[in-house]
Every structure is written in structure tokens, then in C-alpha cells.
Amino acid sequence: MAVVTFATDFGASDAYVGAMKGVVLGVAPKAVLVDITHAIPAHDVRTGAFILADAAPYFPLGSVHLAVVDPGVGGDRNGVAVSSRGQFFVGPDNGVLTLAAPRPRRVFRIESPLFRRETVSPTFHGRDIFAVAAGQLAAGRPIDEAGPMLASMTELPMPAVQELADDCRGEVIHIDHFGNLITSFSSGAAGGRWELWCEGRRFELVGGRTFSDVDRGALVLYAGSGGRMEAAVRDGSAAVLTQSKAGTQIHLKRLS
């Protein structure tokens, strides 16, 4: 039996996550269930997509990733099952899966009665459709039995990854739990002194390898573990200091 992961905006105070896990286990009793997170901000598809894409590559081939950040639940968006790079992804076709499931991929609309509960709530597809589909894939049922194959799926607009240069413009694509700014720049040599402009405000940074390369309260620019350049405040929050959020436009310039 495969690993089944869960990434949602459901939080930890309600029964939603437990209900989905119960459905998966009802279909695939030996599945290994792993929580990626249930703390995605409510309705924040972009953050959900980024977190799923950051975690999924580290799971074994054949893993099934169930992601539910679904402000359009019950509407006309499709529910889909996707295969990409030896893994499976299940969730709403609203962009939450596309970063984690890059091309080449196969996309199927979930229509088969075997991949859905007999009664489907219009407000809880996570339990009544996606959990059943994830369980069937974990149990070894072929993905092409989920329903008709689709030519495409909804793409999530994201800035192109850019190389770090001495003078470059990009944006903040994600802010993590610590308030670190994860940028659209790929990892590069960040030594020396830099300035960061965002929303008309200027900040000085030191290029380093890790947080301990600067004093407490100072900004450091470094290559993050996910392969992108990040800006952090040692023992603090770069997001609070710079008043940045996902989507904030930034300008980095090397000073020395």
C-alpha cells in the first residue's frame, strides 16, 4: 500500500481531516497516512500549491498526495486525479496541484462511481470524492479508471524563476512560518552587502550561508533549502520588518 499525504486549509479544530482519513482507510486499510499541513491559510490556493510542491518530491514513488484548498467547492471546477513523475495528486482543478505535478503529466476528471462516495456533499468533496479517489489509487487501482482524460488542467500563475544577479527584480512568492521571504530568484552566490527595495522601502542585507552569519535583528540573504534565495531576520521576522507578503515586488542590488 502507498503513502497518502494530506495538505489542506482545514485547521485542527474540526472533524474534516479525520473524516477524510477514515474514508481513505476504508478503501485502503494499509495505507500510510502522512500530514503535510492543515494550516494553509483559508482559501489560499497559491500558498497551498507552493507548500505541496515543496514537500511532494521527498516522498517515495507511488505516493498519493491529497490536497484540498477549495474555495470553489460545489461549483463548476473539476475534481481531478493526476499522475506526474511517478506520483499521484488528487484535488480540485483550481491550480493547487499544478506546481507539484509538472508536465509531462496525465490528468483525469474524477467521475467513476468507484472513485466517489455514493452520496456526495456539495460542500465536502475532500471527504466524498478526493479521499475516495486517493484511497483507490493507494490500493493500486489504475488512475485511468477515475474518469475521462483531460487535455489540460488549471495552471497557477507564478513568476518565472530568475537567476540571482547584481541588480535584479522579482517578487516574494511565499512567506514561511518564521516570516522568511522566499523569492523568485534561484539560488546563487550571495556574499557581500546588498540592498532590498520593496513597496518603496529600502533595507540593507548581508549575503550569508545561514542565519548565524548575522547579528540578531539583522537581515541576511541566503540560498534556502528549497533552491530559492530567501531573506530572513535572525531571531525575527523579515515579513514583519519589511511589511512584505506573497506577491510583493522586490528589487535586489549588490552593494559590495
- Report angle CA 89, 92, 125 to the nearest 5 degrees: 105
Average pLDDT of the chain is 96
Please give the biggest Cα pair distance in the chain: 65
Residue 160: predicted pLDDT: 86
CATH architecture of 3-150: 3-Layer(aba) Sandwich (3.40)
Using one digit for the tens of pLDDT, what is the confidence trace for 37-80?
999 999 999 999 999 999 999 999 999 999 999 999 999 999 99
Residue 208: predicted pLDDT: 94
Residue 26: predicted pLDDT: 98
Does the pLDDT of residue 163 top 80, yes or no?
yes
Residue 201: predicted pLDDT: 94
Does the pLDDT of residue 136 top 90, yes or no?
yes
Does the pLDDT of residue 188 top 90, yes or no?
no
Does the pLDDT of residue 205 top 90, yes or no?
yes
Fold match between domain 3-150 and domain 167-254: no
Which whole number is the average pLDDT over 111-120?
98
Burial 112-148 (b: 16+ CB within 10 A, else e): beebbbeeeeeebbbbbbbbbbbbbbbbebebeebbe
Residue 205 near residue 231 (C-beta atoms within 8 A) = yes
Q: Name the percent of the chain lying above pLDDT 90.
A: 95
Q: Where are the domains of the chain?
A: 3-150, 167-254
C-alpha span between 45 and 91 (Å, rounded): 11
* 16-27 helix and 131-138 helix, angle to the nearest 10 degrees: 30
Residue 1: predicted pLDDT: 74
Residue 68: predicted pLDDT: 98
Residue 2 near residue 66 (C-beta atoms within 8 A) = no
C-alpha span between 186 and 202 (Å, rounded): 22
Residue 155: predicted pLDDT: 94
Q: Which fold has domain 167-254?
A: Elongation Factor Tu (Ef-tu); domain 3 (2.40.30)
What CA–CA distances, in Å, run from 106 to 12, 98, 111, 116, 174?
A: 32, 12, 15, 19, 27
Q: How confident is the model at residue 159 (pLDDT cuts 50, 70, 90)?
A: confident
Q: What contacts 177, CB < 8 A, 6 or more positions away? A: none
Residue 229 near residue 188 (C-beta atoms within 8 A) = yes
**pTM, rounded to two decimals:** 0.93
Q: What is the DSSP letter of 190?
A: -
Rg of the chain over CA atoms, in angstroms?
Answer: 20
Q: How confident is the model at residue 189 (pLDDT cuts 50, 70, 90)?
A: confident
